[in-house]
Structure 1
Amino acid sequence: MSHATHANAALTPRARLRLARLIVGHGWSPARAAERYDVSWRTAKKWAERYAAEGSTGMNDRSSRPHHQPNRTPAPVVRKIVHLRWKQRLGPVDIGDRLDMPSSTVHAVLVRCGINRLTHIDRATGEPIRRYEHEHPGDLIHVDVKKLGRVPDGGGWRYVGRQQGKRNRSATAVRTGGPKNKHHQPLIGTCYLHTVIDDHSRVAYVEAHHDETKETATAVLRNAVAWFAERGVSVQRVLSDNGSCYRSNLWRETCAELGLTPKRTRPYRPQTNGKIERFHRTLAEGWAFKKFYNSESARLAALPAWVHEYNHHRPHSAIGKHSPITRLNNLAGHHS
């Protein structure tokens, strides 16, 4: 029985077992056994009790991690740290400055989430360098929601400048009756893009909505599964993050009805859903912010054509510079 022992251990697991057997099996007192092995009687008693309760496996080292960590960084703060690291690839000092917290705490969170080294991430794309994919179309689809601020009438600040952008937002908010935020700035709403990506082919399905409720998310899932079925793809599994709409009973029931196995990513690990994160970046650069739109309706009108271009004509570097649609089963001669 050979197991690694921590540096300060007085006894190896084998010696602990011998000590415990002297007390439990041969009737030695803890004090006598402790003297034999040059440890305290408390130590001898501890190993004897653990041996009596767990047998020889109880002689191995246990984690020294405390059962409760009241000072651990709260989950909402962890999400902010991961977001800044993943989206903007900031270091602990910059993240700490933005969130008004020690950089050492930020670093500890990054280590715990496995994103402390940018060498683990492709700096250009934000995806993990190690690529993987399921073998067949439909084996797994990724789902997520991309949030975009709506374009005000007359265009947004990226193209018309800050001052004119504010005037456009105010005018649009007056027309639509939109509310104001805590800084008394007019709000014109958010566009929620529900996106679905096939893991093997990278074929994308996108719907724009006014919310990310469980009802909307499940309706999009039904539509996407039907859309893929029309193209000869039978969906088996669906991977989502831990958003409330994907943790709902309605989502689980809909997956069961469609014959899908629902899976969720590990909390605070955006790498797990890297393909759809990368698609969202392509979506933002290639459609949402690529050109001037004079209204939200004008931008949404351009979405179907961009998705078609992405699926049918845009070469994808991760699949040999072929377009995603060429990897679907129903296209004769394209599936290899």
Structure 2
Amino acid sequence: AGFDALLPKPRVDRGRPRTLPAEVIKVLLATKEANPKLSVQLVIRETLKHRDVPDDLPLPPSTVHRLLTRHGLMSGSDSQDTDTNRRRFAFQSPGQLWMSDVMHGPTVRIKDRSKRKTYLIAFIDDATRVIPYAAFSLAENTRAFLPVFKQAIVRRGLPERLYVDNGSSYRSNHLSLVCAKLGVALIHARPYRPQGKGKIERWFKTVRGQLLILPDQ
């Protein structure tokens, strides 16, 4: 039930290729991008936990190091702030990267007539600017986020990567576990450096200007 029903079927072609498969390369790169401070050994360890990677696949550290270096992921501490690294989030194909963020919405009256603040939880596809799903909630936490994520997946399929804020609601073990089970690389924005969020922020601006035009009552 729940997210388990959304899990893709296990692969049946898990072989032992001599070169790194494209799926494994994607996981290695996404793992390092998600946490730039990981050593090569830790990148390998986390990659072998991924559902698309055979746990007995040989991953020589020298090979992985060359791969990460070739993609500019083994440079200095603030490499993510360069224009080159910002362009990593300009993906070309649907589903390669979704971004998610929360916009503070209007105050509403609920059944007991009390006033509650609302939050708009939304996803945007980086390549197409399509909104897989968005919904208002009365809370800004993991429990509110996951049903919206589920509906986005039902409508658009699984993304390869999910880029989220660094806030506590996105740092929960529950969200990390769900993404791990689904095979989605969870990437957190670095604190105080929300590069790449401009696309969803522009959509939020449109929502504010065209939808949320009525004053709170």
**Secondary structure at the residue paired with 2:121?**
strand
Query: Which structure is higher in strand share?
Result: 2
Query: Residue 95 of structure 2 is aligned with which of 133, 138, 141?
Result: 138
In structure 2, what is the Cα distance between the partners aligned to 1:272 and 1:191?
24
In structure 2, what is the Cα distance between the partners aligned to 1:279 and 1:146?
10
Letter in structure 1 aligned against 2:144? T
Please, which runs of 5 or more residues in structure 1 have no aligned partner? 1-113, 115-127, 152-171, 179-187, 296-336
Structure 2 match to 1:34: none
* Cα displacement string for residues 186-235 of structure 1 (whole angstroms, at most 9, x for unaligned residues): xx221111100000000112111111221221222122112112xxxx41
CA contact (8 A) 1:136 1:200 kept: yes
RMSD: 2.8
Structure 2 match to 1:196: 123
Assess, with a 3 A threshold, how the Cα gap between structure 1 residues 293 and 131 changes in structure 2: closer, same or farther: farther
**Secondary structure at the residue paired with 2:154?**
helix
CA contact (8 A) 1:266 1:272 kept: no
User: How far off its partner does 1:176 sit?
Assistant: 3.8
**Secondary structure at the residue paired with 1:272?**
coil
Structure 2 match to 1:210: 138
* Cα displacement string for residues 108-138 of structure 1 (whole angstroms, at most 9, x for unaligned residues): xxxxxx8xxxxxxxxxxxxx9x896201000
Letter in structure 2 aligned against 1:224? A
Assess, with a 3 A threshold, how the Cα gap between structure 1 residues 131 and 284 changes in structure 2: closer, same or farther: farther
* Cα displacement string for residues 84-123 of structure 1 (whole angstroms, at most 9, x for unaligned residues): xxxxxxxxxxxxxxxxxxxxxxxxxxxxxx8xxxxxxxxx
Assess, with a 3 A threshold, how the Cα gap between structure 1 residues 250 and 145 changes in structure 2: closer, same or farther: same
In structure 2, what is the Cα distance between the partners aligned to 1:276 and 1:210?
20
In structure 2, what is the Cα distance between the partners aligned to 1:132 and 1:261?
13
In structure 1, what is the Cα distance between the partners aligned to 2:187 and 2:216?
39
Query: Which structure is higher in helix share?
Result: 1
In structure 2, what is the Cα distance between the partners aligned to 1:259 and 1:286?
36
CA contact (8 A) 1:145 1:212 kept: yes
Assess, with a 3 A threshold, how the Cα gap between structure 1 residues 288 and 261 changes in structure 2: closer, same or farther: same
Please, which runs of 5 or more residues in structure 2 have no aligned partner? 1-80
Letter in structure 2 aligned against 1:215? R
**Secondary structure at the residue paired with 1:211?**
coil
Letter in structure 2 aligned against 1:284? R
Structure 2 match to 1:147: 104
Q: Indicate whether 1:225 and 2:153 are aligned.
A: yes
User: How far off its partner does 1:177 sit?
Assistant: 5.0
CA contact (8 A) 1:240 1:263 kept: yes
**Secondary structure at the residue paired with 2:104?**
strand
Structure 2 match to 1:278: 202
Letter in structure 1 aligned against 2:125? D
Q: TM-score, normalised by structure 2?
A: 0.54
Letter in structure 1 aligned against 2:143? E
In structure 1, what is the Cα distance between the partners aligned to 2:146 and 2:137?
12
* Cα displacement string for residues 14-69 of structure 1 (whole angstroms, at most 9, x for unaligned residues): xxxxxxxxxxxxxxxxxxxxxxxxxxxxxxxxxxxxxxxxxxxxxxxxxxxxxxxx
CA contact (8 A) 1:214 1:246 kept: yes
In structure 2, what is the Cα distance between the partners aligned to 1:142 and 1:133?
11
* Cα displacement string for residues 300-319 of structure 1 (whole angstroms, at most 9, x for unaligned residues): xxxxxxxxxxxxxxxxxxxx
**Secondary structure at the residue paired with 2:211?**
helix
CA contact (8 A) 2:89 2:196 kept: no
Letter in structure 1 aligned against 2:90? E
Letter in structure 2 aligned against 1:265? A
**Secondary structure at the residue paired with 1:202?**
coil
Structure 2 match to 1:262: 186
In structure 1, what is the Cα distance between the partners aligned to 2:215 and 2:205?
19
Letter in structure 2 aligned against 1:214? T
Assess, with a 3 A threshold, how the Cα gap between structure 1 residues 268 and 228 changes in structure 2: closer, same or farther: same
Q: TM-score, normalised by structure 1?
A: 0.36
User: How far off its partner does 1:294 sit?
Assistant: 8.8
Letter in structure 2 aligned against 1:140? L
